[in-house]
Structure 1
Amino acid sequence: MTATPPIAAEILAGDEKILVLAPHPDDESLACGGLLANAFAGAGAHVVCMTDGSASHPGSNDWPADKLAEKRREELQEALILLGGTAVNLTWLGLPDSQLHEVDAEEIVVRLEEVIEREQVRHVFVPAQEDKHCDHKTTARIAGILRARRPDIQFYSYPVWSRWDDPDFASCAASHRAVMLDNATAAARKRAAISAHRSQLGEVVKDDPEGFVLPAGFVEKFVGESEIFWRMP
């Protein structure tokens, strides 16, 4: 069996237009901020945010789900602008956070195909199936359905949570022939984009002490280390 070739350098450098599927607002900046900055400075990029991100602070009275979802959408738009794009480069599906697996996959695939045709992209980046979060796994599964229907499209994986909490991540990346993208030239843009997601950094919601906050060291890991991609298996 012929080994799957690694990702071409020109795709990571921004010479080809790309599409990034983000399960939640912030995944695009954390895992693909440098990639997107390159693409926005080059051939272009588009981001599809799968869910509305409203499940991060379920105990808040000040920030009910609909209000928090709108805030997270605004944060994502700001992040894309900081990476060199605009709000036009975002498609917001607004599906229920942490319940993506309950939505009809066929309906989502149809909507994604519409974006692919409208944006004229042939390179799609999706969360790694090794990520444990249910929305990441579901997004990867949906991308697999889409890939089976669209052999003309190339699909690539990016790790988020598996990179953080999987003790065997290094061997996993090696088995996938992962390619590294140095963040050096885009580090300032990427840090600013991640910082735009204030609701996930403990800077917005103050009345839910059990709500989600990005773990200590998490942001520094994704800013300070190279981004990691591999061809979707």
Structure 2
Amino acid sequence: MEVRPTLLCVHPHPDDEAIACGGVLARTSATGGRTVVVTCTGGEAGENLAGIDLGDEDLTTHRRREMADSIAALGVDEHVWLGYRDSGMVGTDDNDHPDSFHAADLDEAARRLAAVVRRVRPDVVVSDDERGTYGHPDHIKAHHVTVRAVALAADPAAEVAGEPWSVPKRYVHTLTKTRLWQAHTGLVAAGLASPFGGADIASPDDLPFGTPDGQLTTVVDVRAWLDTKRAALLAHRSQIGADSFFINTPDDMAVALFGIEEFVLENGTSGSLDGELEDDLFAGLSAVPRTAPSDVGRGGPIVDPVRFREVLGRFVTGVTVMGTTVDGTPHGMTASSVTSVSLDPPLVLVCVDRSAAMATEVTAGGVYALSFLADDQAELSVTFADPDRPTGHDQFEGVPYRTATTGSPVLDGAVGWVDTRVVGVHDGGDHLIVVGEVVDLGHDPVRRPLAYHAGAYADLAERA
């Protein structure tokens, strides 16, 4: 059993993880901790601030690739998209978009996040404060959703997948008024761009936002990881323009501006002595035991991944479409890593890529159905495997299906199907192993199954 302190950071948009918590994420990863980032929206209402050439790619897709690069730079263990749309700045039309995070039902969004909290079982959770740092609707919503999610995750009666988990410490990231004022005056004096423009701000109290110094509880020194934090910031190429103060600040000033990160402990017990500021988010905690990964292959995989895929591809599998529902909205995904687990109780499992939207959706929904495709349904397999397919109801447009007992979608014409309630979500490397207890099932005794072998659909000869 290995002890790995786990940090879960919740942010509204791609790039917020690097700006607000890049230092503590890099520090935790580098010192042996486990790090998880949840991004609530895809930054759909953002702009190409740097004016880079996107080619044929839309900005939202490009920002997802930027996010992956940032996560890799920080050494984050797991990234989760919560599945909402960017709400835009205050007073814009994006605020009223039906899929916007700002407009989302609080409990529905909190249940999605609570399912992640129960699965990850973090020692520390960090989010925006109640003011959303500078008042952006998504930053404010991220705070309220996180607070509610932490409460739901601990509540045994909450309708959330997974075993209850009480988060030992919940923080909000912040910037004190004094630090902001010092940064502003220093940048203006040096003739550099400040987030507050070139205004003459007489004192910290005159700033439009920032936390009073007396509310601060924790200051973490991340100077040793400043280059890593900068690399994560620069990964967001469309958002960091040539005039950005993030990349134009001289090194000596950058250490003072970005070399520490500030937090307020809102829930949990401080680990400081005699009322002093904490210098570590995990201060005072005895880290929760985590299952130790195998030591086999440390330093690099002992099996070539390409060879692994080639050999396992010789195993003939069926093809399924996995469907779940979150507050009445259906979601689907093609899956081939499916098997039965137990007869008593009747259990099945399906493996879901951690980076897939389904990883968030099935943990939030707590139910799923598997439709075993027939040999004339290869097109459906392709449709639900397309990473650019629509989401929600739109991905089922023109696809005949019915609703199973749990509310999950079951495709018409399938050779068989099972409907399940999630009873466990387990770590499976770059996948989640989602175990479901079967509550209903059925099959068509006439139709033949669609098979998959060596990277292609296989036609099984009819057998007597």
After TM superposition, the score normalised by the length of structure 2 is: 0.40
Question: Which one has a larger percent strand, Structure 1 or Structure 2?
Answer: 2
Report whether the alignment pairs 1:146 with 2:149. Answer: yes
Runs of 4 or more above 4 Å deviation? 160-167, 217-223
Instruction: Give 1:22 shift.
Output: 0.9
Q: Which residue of 1 aligns with 2:321?
A: none
| 2: CA distance, partners of 1:32 / 1:80 | 12
Measured in 2, the distance between the counterparts of 1:225 and 1:188 equals 10
**Residues 167 and 231 (structure 1), Cα distance of their counterparts in 2 relative to 1, 3 Å cut:** same
Counterparts of 1:91 and 1:109 in 2: how far apart (Å)? 14
Give the stretch that moved more between structures: 129-138 or 145-154.
145-154
Cα distance in structure 1, aligned partners of 2:173 and 2:111? 22
Q: Secondary structure at 1:19's aligned position in 2? A: strand
Using a 3 Å threshold, how does the CA distance of structure 1 residues 198 and 171 change in structure 2: closer, same or farther?
closer
User: 1:219, 1:138 → 2: CA distance?
Assistant: 31
Deviations 1:44-78 (A, max 9, x none): 11000001112112899x86xx9212211111111
Which residue number corresponds to residue 187 of structure 1? 226
The 5 A counterparts of 1:73-88 are 73-85=64-76
C-alpha contact (below 8 Å) 1:180/1:226 kept by paired residues: yes
Which structure is richer in relative contact order (CA contacts within 8 A, separation 6 or more)?
1
The yes-or-no answer on 1:201 pairing with 2:240 is yes
- Per-residue CA deviation, residues 75-116 of structure 1 (Å, 9 max, x unaligned), is 111111111235xx1001231112321012212111111111
Letter in 2 for 1:43: G
Structural RMSD (CA): 3.3
Q: 1:105 to 1:121 in 2, by over 3 A?
A: same
- Secondary structure of the structure 2 residue equivalent to 1:232: strand
1:90 counterpart SS class: strand
Q: Do residues 135 (structure 1) and 138 (structure 2) align?
A: yes
Question: Does 1:155 find its partner at 2:170?
Answer: yes
1:191, 1:223 within 8 Å by CA — same for their partners in 2? no
C-alpha distance after superposition, 1:172-225 (max 9, x if no partner): 34232331111211011111111101110137xxxxxxxxx85x3588468634
Among 59, 63, 66, the alignment partner of 1:68 is 59
Task: State the Cα deviation string for residues 119-174 of structure 1 (Å, max 9, x = none).
Answer: 22131100122321111111111122223334521210012698566944798342
Q: Does 1:97 align with 2:112?
A: no
CA pair 67-167 structure 1, distance change in 2 beyond 3 A:
farther
Confirm or deny: 8 A CA contact 1:180 1:228 kept in the other structure.
Answer: yes
Preserved CA contact (<8 Å) 1:30 1:219 = no
Distance in 1 between residues matched to 2:211 and 2:117, nearest whole Å: 29
Match of 2:364 in 1: none
Contact 1:30 1:160 in 2 (8 A): no
Cα 1:223–1:196 change in 2 (3 A) is: farther
Q: Does 1:232 align with 2:266?
A: yes
Q: Give the helix-richer structure, 1 or 2.
A: 1
**How far apart, in 1, do the equivalents of 2:175 and 2:37 lie?**
16
Cα distance change, pair 198–58 in 1 and its aligned pair in 2 (3 A): closer
1:190–1:223 Cα contact (<8 Å) kept: no
Unaligned runs of 5+ in 2: 88-99, 155-165, 181-194, 197-202, 268-464
- Between stretches 129-138 and 140-149, larger displacement belongs to 140-149
Does residue 46 (structure 1) correspond to residue 40 (structure 2)? The answer is no
Query: Residues of 1 paired with 2:69 and 2:175: CA distance?
Result: 21
Shift in CA distance, 183/58, structure 1 to aligned 2, threshold 3 Å? closer
* TM-aligned CA distance change 1:113 to 1:224, over 3 Å: closer
| Aligned-partner Cα distance in 1 for 2:22–2:86 | 22
Cα distance in 2 between the residues matched to 1:161 and 1:96: 29
SS in 2 for 1:70: helix
Q: Separation in 1 of the partners of 2:81 and 2:5?
A: 22
How far, CA to CA, are the matches of 1:33 and 1:178 in structure 2? 19
Distance 2:70 2:61 in 1: 14
Counterparts of 1:171 and 1:67, CA distance in 2: 34
Assess, with a 3 A threshold, how the Cα gap between structure 1 residues 191 and 49 changes in structure 2: closer, same or farther: same
Larger Rg: 2
Unaligned stretches of 5+ in structure 1? Answer: 1-13, 204-212
